[in-house]
Amino acid sequence: PFPWFSTMRKASPVRYDATRHSWDVFCYDEVLAVLKDHDTFSSVRPKLGPRLLGSVIGEDPPKHQQLRNIVSRAFTPKTVADLEPRIKAIITDLIDQAIEEHGHFDFVAKIAVPLPVIVIAELLGVPIDDRPLFKHWSDVIAKGATENSMSGLATLMSEKTQAKEELDSYFLHILNERRVDPKEDLISHLVQAEVNGEHLRDEDLLEFCILLLAAGNETTTNLLTNTVRRYCEDPSLQVYLREHLEAIDVATEESLRFYSPIQATNRYATKDVQLGGHIIHEGDQVVVWIGSANRDEQQFVAADTFVMDRHPNKHIAFGHGIHFCLGAPLARLEAHVALPAILERMYAMHFEMDGTLQPIPSSLVYGTSQMEIAYRLPS
Ligand code: HEM
């Protein structure tokens, strides 16, 4: 998408796309202006049937803040930091299993997919054996951005509705168990939480659990895959970072900017408003292109170059404003633990064959659904 973004930033930084009936915003300043102004640019999707993804991400103040307060208490830096030893143990296991496979393996399937799923499952407190179910549900819920035909869309909607029903009954069962017998996990915390003296309704609890699966898994998978992809594209990075482990986190921020896992998010105008010389009308949908803002040469010197130690790096890969990603500390911690472990145990990583990088067919998500890599063991 990057050459297209570049063309659009120059030719029409804010434009109306008549085929999709929505606005596109490409430049950093305008994208930021939209994300900051949550009164004018709402996150609540208007005029649609049942929502598939709700909770904090699809709410405006004041409900947004109430929900976010409850969950953010469960996502404090301390809670997240406490996960470090578990993440370390999980990644060690995953690497052990991956390197049994003769010098090459699919990084996505063996490492980037399971790590975040296992971490979220443990955080929520759901049985680890249910992981395959989770993976299936989160895939179905995340699917869709590319479905253009009406029949494709109809099949997808029924698939999604079914996944949502299955997920609801699955989580409802666990919620009820935790009400009776609370444990030290996020679900127990959520069922006990109160807003204005009242517990959250089942509906809100379910939406939140599902949001964590949908928002946290594929994104973190893609962060890990995109970063290791970059290591393979530029092997000198592997050599340098292995010798300077303290530089890995800054390079990961650059990966978030350069190959942003989420390329776009939506807003809906609550009133007529001027943006980039155009009038956006009340009710119009606005797509803000995070992936383009992160490549805007007005904001980033050498924007199309991966600068391992870029500073400052005000990328907006985790969004901006009141909806700033709640899981950012967790995603960063997973990368912080996993990437050094990968670099230390696999040398000279490179793509196994041409053509095995399968881009995820979506304009909103950036990643590869498969990435065969070869490596050698440290001597
Ligand atoms: C919100 C990106 C990982 C949970 C967001 C938003 C972005 C984003 C761009 C803002 C959406 C908007 O404004 O419309 C990412 C990326 C990730 C990641 C790139 C990984 C590299 C996670 C993880 C979790 C998570 C691991 C949870 C376990 C959330 C939640 C919100 C959110 C709950 C909504 C916050 C709110 O509306 O107040 N994320 N995310 N994310 N993310 Fe993430």
Ranges of residues in the chain with a pLDDT under 50 are 49-50, 145-148
Q: Residue 213 domain-assigned?
A: no
Q: Residue 135 domain-assigned?
A: no
Q: Residue 62 domain-assigned?
A: yes
Q: Residue 263 domain-assigned?
A: yes
CATH number at residue 114: 1.10.630.10
State whether the beta carbon of 327 lies less than 6 angstroms from ligand 1: yes
Report CA-CA distances (Å) from 371 to 110, 280, 358. 10, 41, 7
State whether the beta carbon of 87 lies less than 6 angstroms from ligand 1: no
Query: Long-range contacts: 84-89, Cβ < 8 Å, 24+?
Result: 84/333, 84/337, 86/119, 86/122, 87/115, 87/119, 87/333, 87/334, 87/337, 87/338, 88/337, 88/341
Q: How many domains does the chain have?
A: 1
Are 26 and 13 contacting, i.e. CB atoms less than 8 angstroms apart? yes
State whether the beta carbon of 330 lies less than 6 angstroms from ligand 1: yes
Pocket test of ligand 1: the residue of 205, 325, 332 to mutate, having most ligand atoms within 8 Å of its CB, is 325
pLDDT at position 158 is 77
User: What span, in angstroms and rounded, lies between the C-alpha atoms of 209 and 376?
Assistant: 40
- Quick one: which of 336, 279, 277 has its CA closest to 81? 336
State the closest ligand 1 atom to the C-alpha of 322, by its place in the atom list counted from 1: 38
Are 50 and 315 contacting, i.e. CB atoms less than 8 angstroms apart? no
Which residues face 264 on adjacent strands?
289
Verify cis geometry, omega within 30 degrees of 0, for the bond prior to 46: no
Residue nearest to atom 38 of ligand 1 (CA): 323
Q: Residue 68 domain-assigned?
A: yes
Are 349 and 235 contacting, i.e. CB atoms less than 8 angstroms apart? yes
Q: Residue 211 domain-assigned?
A: no
The domain of 16 spans 2-124+222-376
Q: Residue 205 domain-assigned?
A: no
Residue nearest to atom 4 of ligand 1 (CA): 327
Residue nearest to atom 14 of ligand 1 (CA): 265
pLDDT at position 361 is 83
State whether the beta carbon of 58 lies less than 6 angstroms from ligand 1: no
Q: Residue 134 domain-assigned?
A: no
- Quick one: which of 199, 189, 308, 163 has its CA closest to 244? 308
Cβ neighbours of residue 85 closer than 8 Å, sequence gap 6 or more: none
State whether the beta carbon of 34 lies less than 6 angstroms from ligand 1: no
Residue 14, judged by CB atoms within 10 A of its CB (0-12, 13-18, 19+), counts as buried
Pocket test of ligand 1: the residue of 65, 87, 118, 219 to mutate, having most ligand atoms within 8 Å of its CB, is 219
pLDDT at position 72 is 83
Q: Is 115 left (phi over 0), alpha (psi -120 to 50) or beta?
A: alpha
Distance 220 CA to ligand 1 centre (A): 10
64-88 pLDDT tens trace: 888 888 888 767 778 888 899 999 9
